[in-house]
A and B are shown apart, each in its own frame.
Chain A
Amino acid sequence: MTDPAGTPGAQAATVGAAALAEDAAPEAEPITRRLGWAFWLCVGWLVVIVMAAVLAPWLPLKDPDANLVNRDLGRPPYSPSSDFWFGSDLDARDVFSRTIFGARVSLTVGFVAIAFGMLIGGTLGILAGYFRGWLDRIISFAFVVLLSFPALALAILITSLIDRGLLTISLTLGFLAIAPVGRLARATTIQYSDREFVVAARSLGARHPRIIIRELLPNVVIPMGALALLGMAVAIVAEGGLAFLGLSVEKEETWGKLILLGAGSRELENSPWIAMAPILILFLTVLALNFAGDKVRAYFDVKEAAL
Chain B
Amino acid sequence: MNYWLQRFGTSVLLLLSVSALTFGAMNVLGDPLFNILGPAARSTEVRGTAQIEGYAYQAGKGNSTVGLVVVDEADELAPGQALLVSVDDELPMRTDTIAALDSVTVEGGLVSIADSVTPGDSVFNGPDPEQLFKVAQAEKEFYLDKPLPERYGRWLGDFVTGDMGPQFSKTGEPPVTDLIKERLPRSVMLLVMAQSLATAIAIPWSLWSASKANKTVDKLSTFSTFLIIALPNFALGVILKYVFAIKLSIFPQTFNASDPFFSRVWQMFLPALTIALPAAAVYQRLLRTDLITTLQEDFILMARSKGVSRRNVLLKHALRPSLFSFVTVFGINTGALIGGSLIAETIFRVPGLGSAVVEAVATEDFPIVLAIVMIVATAFVAVNVVVDVVYSLIDPRVRR
Contact = CB atoms under 8 A, between A and B. Distances in A.
B333 interface: yes
A240 B232 contact: yes
Nearest to A2: B6
A20 to B, nearest CB: 11
Interface stretch (A54-62, A116-124, A198-206, A275-283): A275-283
A160 B95 CA distance: 34
B22 interface: yes
B346 interface: yes
Interface residues of B, number: 73
Contacts of B11: 8
Contacts of B245: 265
Nearest to B392: A6
B362 A151 contact: no
B322 to A, nearest CB: 13
Interface stretch (B165-173, B222-230, B255-263): B222-230
A162 B227 CA distance: 35
Interface string B332-375: 11011011001100110000001001101110001001101100
Contact of B361 (A245, A268, A269): A245
A240 B25 CA distance: 23
A39 interface: no
Contacts of A276: 238-239, 242
A154 B230 CA distance: 22
Interface stretch (B54-62, B108-116, B124-132, B282-290): B282-290
B333 A15 contact: yes
Given A148-B18, A245-B343, A282 B25 contact: no
Given A245-B342, A245-B354, A23 B282 contact: yes
Interface stretch (A24-32, A45-53, A63-71, A218-226): A24-32
B63 interface: no
Contacts of B74: none
A265 B226 CA distance: 28
Contacts of B370: 157
A244 interface: yes
A272 B246 CA distance: 10
Contact of B233 (A8, A145, A241): A241
Interface residues of A, number: 58
B234 A241 contact: yes
Interface stretch (A83-91, A107-115, A188-196, A285-293): A285-293
B189 interface: no
Interface stretch (B96-104, B306-314, B383-391): B383-391
The secondary structure that dominates the B interface is helix
A242 to B, nearest CB: 9
B300 interface: no
A7 B10 contact: yes
A175 to B, nearest CB: 11
A147 B224 CA distance: 29
B29 A11 contact: no
B230 A290 contact: yes
A148 B10 contact: no
Interface in B277-308: 282, 285-286, 289, 292-293
Given A149-B377, A245-B358, A286-B230, 14 more contacts: A7-B10, A8-B381, A23-B285, A25-B285, A25-B286, A27-B222, A149-B21, A152-B342, A154-B373, A156-B369, A161-B35, A237-B232, A246-B358, A283-B235
5 smallest CB-CB distances across A and B, nearest first, come from A152-B339, A8-B384, A287-B230, A237-B232, A153-B376
30 contacts: A7-B10, A7-B14, A8-B7, A8-B10, A8-B14, A12-B332, A15-B333, A15-B336, A23-B225, A28-B213, A145-B14, A145-B21, A149-B18, A149-B377, A152-B343, A153-B376, A161-B366, A241-B339, A241-B343, A244-B343, A244-B347, A245-B357, A259-B234, A259-B235, A279-B235, A283-B230, A287-B230, A290-B226, A290-B229, A291-B230
Interface of B: 7, 10-11, 13-14, 17-18, 21-22, 25-26, 29-30, 35, 213-214, 222, 225-227, 229-235, 238-239, 241-242, 245-246, 253-254, 282, 285-286, 289, 292-293, 328-329, 332-333, 335-336, 338-339, 342-343, 346-347, 354, 357-358, 360-362, 366, 369-370, 372-373, 376-377, 380-381, 384-385, 387-388, 398
